[in-house]
Amino acid sequence: MKQQKAFTVSLLIFSFLIIWFMPIPSLYAQRGAEEFSYYIPPVDRNPYPLVEQRQVKNIILMIGDGMSITTITAARIKVLGANGKMHIERMPVTGFINTYSANALITDSAAGATALSSGYKTNNGMIGMIPDSTKVYTILEGARDKSMSTGLIATSTITHATPAAFAAHVRLRSNQAAIAYDIIANRVNVILGGGEAFFLPQSHPDSKRRDDKNLIEEAVKAGYEFVQTKSEFDAAKSDFLLGLFHNDAMTTESPEPTLAEMTAKAIEILSRNVKGFFLMVEGSQIDWAEHDNDADETIKQMLHFDLAVKQAVDFAMENGETIVVITADHETGGMTINGGRLSGENLSIKWTTGSHTGVPVPVFAFGPHAERFTGWHDNTDVPKIFAELLEIADFPKK
Ligand SMILES: [Zn+2]
């Protein structure tokens, strides 16, 4: 009897140890290739061509928030193998960009995007203004003042730091209610992303505003078509389109429109303007996955961004007067590749931080005058080059 009891106890301890040390497949296994089956790589592996130097009519600026060379390379190796090729890797002109802000070696997205939108460095956290709170003119506003159409796309709330810095001027990036007001007041033609909460009056249960402004109602009165679902989005054709697909950030999952679909829709609407357009497209959640040091989610968001790149360059190739510039506001995670097979199996990613880092980011360009982006630049150079290409005089300006 005593022996039997001892046996039962040791069996229990043994089973407990097995369960304790057993790897949990759903937590530890890497995502399989089928998780990325939505991704279609380029058929043509050659670089996109250098094109004729014509006057630039349209600008598409694509910002992979937190996107680094490692982000791109890890996505390629994981999904296509080391010798694969992604759309972004076909860009014919490449360079580097320094990202530090006015008050910090490590920028945040607010100061990073303000540099990219206005040509001025500012303090971390500030949107569309320099450290002394003077508002600065953005390249989107410059395009609008030339009667060009404008667009902002993000998978975060559309009031998040990166899109905000192109159309809003606030001291604190967290003031997304004020940013929502500025974006509508700026009459940005196409506004697509998440963040409905910041457009609804405080009486609404989903609202994150502290006033009675209903910016959706005001936008509709001002001529915007408002859409929330994929089918409404597909059917939309007005020259002013406000699409808010989530109360907070988008899920980046079906049935929401994808970043590529939003990019295609914006181009379809904006390209009707004979005077041209400026469009900013952000892959917002690359950064968030990197903050979480989640390699597979980073790769997923990178691939969505790459499919949006394809939409932009396909249009630019056909159009001939469009420059596409792709860059990042900063690196996130100190992400590196330190092992794995050529096929992409057992890819080992290491991180040095859960925050941003101070390394330079890549810049890619396609279209007339793309070579202006070759070499090593400051982030403030990007909108200055845009202003020259669009012949916007007196830029940067306060
Ligand atoms: Zn970040």
* Residue 146 alpha carbon to ligand 1 centre in Å: 33
Q: How far is the CA of 113 from the centre of ligand 1 (A)?
A: 12
The verdict on residue 213 lying in a domain is yes
Q: Does residue 105 lie in a domain region? A: yes
Q: What is the pLDDT of residue 23?
A: 43
pLDDT digits (tens, 9 = 90+) for 290-340: 999 999 999 999 999 999 999 999 999 999 999 999 999 999 999 999 999
Dump the DSSP string for 338-397: EE--TTSTT-EEE-S-SSEE---EEEEEESTTGGGG-EEEETTHHHHHHHHHHT-SS-S-
Ligand 1 centroid from CA 333, angstroms: 9
State in Å: Cα 365 to ligand 1 middle: 24
pLDDT 10s digits, 28-45: 346 666 789 899 999 999
Distances (CA, A) of 327 to 94, 166, 214: 10, 15, 34
pLDDT at 73: 98
Is the pLDDT at 199 greater than 60, yes or no?
yes
For range 80-109, the mean pLDDT = 98
> Helices 381-390 and 109-118, interaxial angle, to 10°?
30
141 part of a folded domain: yes
Q: Assess if residue 12 is contained within a domain.
A: no
Give the CATH number for residue 187: 3.40.720.10
Mean pLDDT throughout 192-220?
A: 97
Tell me if 376 is assigned to some domain. yes
Number of domains in the chain: 1
What's the pTM value of the predicted model, to 2 decimals?
Answer: 0.92
157 bridge partner residues: 194
**Is residue 349, in this structure, part of any structural domain at all?**
yes
Active-site annotation holds for 133: no
Q: What's the 380 CA to ligand 1 centre distance in angstroms?
A: 19
* Residue 1 placed within a domain: no
| pLDDT (mean) for 280-292 | 98
pLDDT of residue 35: 83
Of 68, 101, 109, 149, the catalytic one is 109
List the domain range (segments joined by +) for residue 276. 51-390
Condensed to tens digits (0 to 9), the pLDDT of residues 5-64 reads 666 666 556 565 555 554 444 343 466 667 898 999 999 999 999 998 899 999 999 999
pLDDT of residue 28: 38
28 inside domain = no
